[in-house]
Amino acid sequence: MINACVIGWPIAHSRSPLIHGYWLKQYGIDGSYTRRPVEPASLAAFLADLPQSGLAGCNVTLPHKEAVFGLVTPADASTKRLGAVNTLFLRDGHALGTNTDGEGFINSLQSSVPGFNITNERAMVLGAGGASLAVVNAILEQGASEVVVANRTLEKAEQLRQRFGPKVLPLVWDEAGDQLTECGLLVNTTSLGMKGQPEVGLNMSRLPAEAIVTDIVYTPLRTKFLVDATARGNRTVDGLGMLLHQAVRGFSLWFGVTPQVTDELHDLVARDIDPDYKR
């Protein structure tokens, strides 16, 4: 029996058990994946105990992604650049930390938009928080020529430039609409548009018709941001794909099978978000 879990604080609403539970059943693996509440004060003790805990590893979610980075060995250069961990696994009795959010973001786009490629293209990312970090890093790793980061708090966008270099162009929020010309990709990484939050409210009239628009918010599945982009004729990709695709590598590391993100899995999680969901 192989065990894994997701740690966070709070953790009750995590959909990761639904995703990994589906795959465990699908591939007939004798394993478990559970939610484990870990409060910030207990994080170091949890990590110290991990090699002896009987767990093969775990996912790490809010608010622990950056704290865990400071407490374990990063498994790869991309995670080192990012400074945040969402997946832990054991090697030779030692916990290693990696981050699958960026590949989740890119693989979601590639599976929804065949031939998706932003090499030498300009992208705009709305927001400069934790989610933005992974998205900006992934876009740069794909070879984008520049990434405009528009944020309410300009200093946070400037910090992304310090971290990732001069291809990141910080921008004040109010100028975002004007800078959409020549963007091949537009991403919302803010919490705007989430149930109970104000809408993004961006004027997209300058966005090229060929640009792809995606939102990392997936509650609701079809945010107003995506509905507006679709109405203009842009191709859109919802945020659920990133959640599903970021789970793939952890499952493979712990359980030894690289799982498929199927339509059936997408619809299972979509119905958990919205019981009335129809493909």
Residues forming the site for ligand ATR (CB under 6 A): 127-132, 151-153, 156, 189-192, 198
Q: Is residue 179 a contact partner of residue 119, using CB atoms and an 8 Å limit?
A: no
Report phi then psi at 171, rounded to 5: -145, 140
Minimum distance from CB of 173 to ligand ATR (Å)? 6
Question: Could you tell me where the DSSP H helices lie in 28-114?
Answer: 43-49, 65-69, 77-82, 101-112
Q: Closest CB to ligand ATR among 70 and 129? A: 129
Minimum distance from CB of 122 to ligand ATR (Å)? 20
**CB-closest chain residue to ligand ATR:** 129
- Please report how many Cα atoms fall inside a 13 Å half-sphere around the Cα of residue 41, on the Cβ side: 0
Q: What's the rounded Cα separation, in Å, for the pair 157 and 147?
A: 11
Minimum distance from CB of 188 to ligand ATR (Å)? 9
Q: Closest CB to ligand ATR among 86 and 107? A: 86
Closest listed residue to residue 6, CA positions, set 77, 103, 85:
85
Minimum distance from CB of 266 to ligand ATR (Å)? 22
Q: Is residue 131 a contact partner of residue 101, using CB atoms and an 8 Å limit?
A: yes
Helix (H, G, I), strand (E, B) or coil at 73: strand
Q: Closest CB to ligand ATR among 55 and 59? A: 59
Residue 81 corresponds to which amino acid?
Answer: R
Q: Closest CB to ligand ATR among 129 and 256? A: 129
- Please report how many Cα atoms fall inside a 13 Å half-sphere around the Cα of residue 235, on the Cβ side: 12
Q: Is residue 187 a contact partner of residue 239, using CB atoms and an 8 Å limit?
A: no
Q: Closest CB to ligand ATR among 142 and 190? A: 190
Q: Closest CB to ligand ATR among 189 and 236? A: 189
Q: Who's near 17: CB < 8 A, 6+ residues apart?
A: 6, 33, 34, 35
Active site residues: 65
Helix (H, G, I), strand (E, B) or coil at 208: coil
Handedness of CA 27, 28, 32, 34 (dihedral sign): positive
